[in-house]
């Protein structure tokens, strides 16, 4: 059975390579401008609000039906 042990120098090199790769990938990212960011945020908030209202309506309906059944 062999065990692979990384030395400090190898660890530092792999960390350095990781950080360089990360920096290169972040340069490829399309960062939204202010207008896009506002639009995306609005869509997310509206979607969350609609889902919350839908869940509330379903929960209220089920609660109402249970009250009718259990009377």
pTM of the model: 0.60
Q: Which residue has the higher pLDDT, 5 or 23?
A: 23
Domains of the chain, by residue range, sit at 8-70
Tell whether the model's pLDDT for residue 2 goes beyond 70.
Answer: no
Query: What pLDDT does 1 receive?
Result: 58
* Sign (positive or negative) of CA dihedral 42, 47, 52, 54: positive
10-45 pLDDT, tens per residue?
Answer: 777 889 999 999 999 999 999 999 999 999 999 999
Tell whether the model's pLDDT for residue 67 goes beyond 90.
Answer: yes
């Amino acid at each position: 059975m062999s065990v692979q042990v990384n030395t400090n120098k190898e660890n530092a090199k792999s960390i350095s390579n990781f950080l360089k790769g990360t920096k290169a990938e972040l340069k490829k990212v399309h960062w939204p401008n202010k207008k896009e960011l506002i639009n995306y945020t609005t869509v997310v908030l509206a979607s969350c609000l609609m889902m919350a209202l839908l869940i509330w309506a379903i929960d209220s309906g089920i609660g109402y039906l249970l009250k009718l059944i259990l009377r």
